[in-house]
Amino acid sequence: MKIRFATGIAVTLFAAALAMAAEGTWTGYISDDHCGAKGMSEKHAECATKCVKEKGAKYVFVNDADKKVYAIDAQDKVAAHAGHHVTVKGSVDGENLKLASIDMAPAKSM
């Protein structure tokens, strides 16, 4: 009986750990959900803004490391950064980014 109880507690804790959102800092581009990772450039700013304003697209964050696209909860905070290379802080839950802050990413050194 004790083994079943301990196993039940362990399974519950493991499931809770998986369900928790991952908090962190990521660097990437602000694109739109129509273009996704294809919009990873400064040249995409005008296109992304137009898609959002005229075609009902939403801004997304595209992670530099793995090119994964995340939906952003705070659309108003990222509008001014369309097409920009940025560093975001917040939490990720699946494919959703809950934004805490956004800043321009440092310039890449050559």
Cα–Cα distance for residue pair 84/81, rounded to 1 Å: 5
**According to DSSP H, which parts of the chain are helical?**
2-19, 45-55, 75-78
Which tens digits make up the pLDDT trace of 41-77?
888 899 999 999 999 999 999 999 999 999 999 999 9
Q: Does the pLDDT at position 6 exceed 90?
A: no
Instruction: Determine the average pLDDT of the residues in 31-44.
Output: 90
Nearest Cα residue to 52 out of 93, 23, 24, 81: 81
pLDDT of residue 109: 57
CB neighbour list of residue 46: distance below 8 Å, 6 or more residues apart: 83
Instruction: Please give the CATH number for the structural domain made up of 22-104.
Output: 2.40.50
Domain extents in the chain: 22-104
In percent, the amount of the chain with pLDDT more than 70 equals 80
pLDDT of residue 42: 84
Instruction: Determine the average pLDDT of the residues in 85-104.
Output: 96
